[in-house]
Amino acid sequence: MVGFNSKDQRQKLVSTPQAVLQAQAFSSARYEFHSVVCDFNFYSLSFRLKNTSNDQRRTKVNCVSQPRDTPPARDTGIASEKDWGIKISSEVSNDSGTNEDGSTWFRECGEDLGENGYRCRYTVMGGRSSDGSTEWKETWWEKCDWTGYKELGAEKSGKNAGGDAWWETWQEILRQDELSNLARIERTAQKQAKQGNGEAGWYEKWWEKYNAKGWTEKGAHKYGRLNEQSWWEKWGEQYDGRGAVLKWTDKWAENATGEKWGDKWEEKFQNGAGTRQGETWHSANAESWSRTWGEEHFGDGKVHKYGKSTSGENWDSVVTETTVYNAEPHYGWVDAIGQSTQLLSIEPRPRPPGVYPDLPKPKQPDQ
């Protein structure tokens, strides 16, 4: 089973940072840090800590890419290739035109060839309003070579009459690991957007990696800003395919007065045993507060729990408690292969008899 399930008392923090100092009776727990929420239709600000749900990290299998004339949505993870609807033409073309309202458009399809059987087919399209206040551009591509490398990707960018601007890219790769010779699928997505008056903006980067033996890595980096208040979030998960799992999160925020607060935790498990540890902290002016905590799961039903805070709290005990965690990701290699049909269908250039691909030099794999 995945993910530790603590039975400690959990207390939700209210939205004001000062509550971190006031709520000093809560025990160790997992929290998700929600901060600046920037939406180009509904600008809002929310600073709060809340209980983390594993669903927040799960691979989104029904993500829908955004229309070309609007900024991308936040916190949607990595969309599938089906949702992007990438269609690559094998014909070379270059078209453009002007609509009745004076807006212009263009569409270009082409192909680039290189050494080692490299081929990139692409489609670039875009448009612009008659006064130039609104623009959009979208690029699709597929790449392959004789080493078995395959790549499918897309990129979007645009701006509107209010000055809001955005950029988004998505990439899916199939390759062979240089040392282990295992097939790997890697997916990445990056998004960013900013308000026209410069008062708000955000950025996100998501990634997923899978190999044929069950090794999996997932993670995200996020940043947001609204006026003089900013937040950051980083998290990661790694499964070795043999029962070991590592998960971690680090989140923090600050405002214009220099007040800062955050939360971080990490857990490692294998063969029914493992550890969890974390810290919640807050600083303002010359004052600061923090609570650190940890848990040791021995695999025999016993758990050592300990912690302390700068306000004088201190605990250290061994309790009887069931250890619950997932040794495998909810979405793994088989799922990734099943949702990468377009990537797998990319056909490489014919290789002449007697010509062999130049394979990359071996390097230490990251798993």
Predicted local confidence at residue 57, as pLDDT: 59
Q: What is the pLDDT of residues 35-81, one digit of tens each?
A: 333 333 323 333 333 334 454 455 443 333 344 667 788 888 899 99
Alpha carbons within 13 angstroms on the beta-carbon side of residue 302 total 5
- Structure-block tokens of residue 109: 């399809």
Write down the pLDDT at residue 286.
85
Contact (CB, 8 A) for 144 and 345: no
- Return the H-helix or E-strand segment holding 260: strand 260-270
Burial 214-234 (b: 16+ CB within 10 A, else e): bbbbbbbbbbbbbeebbbbbb
Other beta carbons within 10 Å of 35? 25
Instruction: Tell me the C-alpha distance between 268 and 30, whole Å.
Output: 14
Residues of the chain with pLDDT under 70: 1-69, 360-367
Largest pairwise CA distance in the chain:
76
Question: What is each CA distance from 41 to 64, 71, 100, 257, in whole angstroms?
Answer: 18, 10, 28, 28
Query: Do residues 72 and 193 lie in contact, with contact meaning Cβ atoms separated by under 8 Å?
Result: yes
pTM of the model: 0.78
| Residue 56 CA neighbour count, 13 Å, CB half | 19
The per-residue pLDDT for range 318-362, each reduced to its tens digit, is 999 999 999 999 999 999 999 999 999 999 999 888 777 777 665
pLDDT of res. 363? 58
Domain positions in the chain are 1-52+242-327, 56-199+334-352
What pLDDT sits at residue 360?
A: 66
Q: How high is the pLDDT of residue 9?
A: 32
Q: Distance between CA atoms of 150 and 348, rounded to whole angstroms?
A: 8
Closest C-alpha to 103, from 81, 84, 83, 129: 129
Calculate the alpha carbon distances from 100 to 96, 104, 105 in Å: 14, 9, 12
User: Which residues on neighbouring strands pair with residue 155, listed in sequence order?
Assistant: 139, 169
Distance of alpha carbon 265 from alpha carbon 294, whole angstroms: 9
> Per 3-state DSSP, what percentage of the chain is helix, strand, and coil (rounded to 5)?
5, 50, 45
Residue 362: predicted pLDDT: 57
Using alpha carbons only, what angle is made at residue 356 by residues 120 and 147, rounded to the nearest 5 degrees? 45
Q: How many CA atoms lie within 13 A of 226 on its CB side?
A: 15
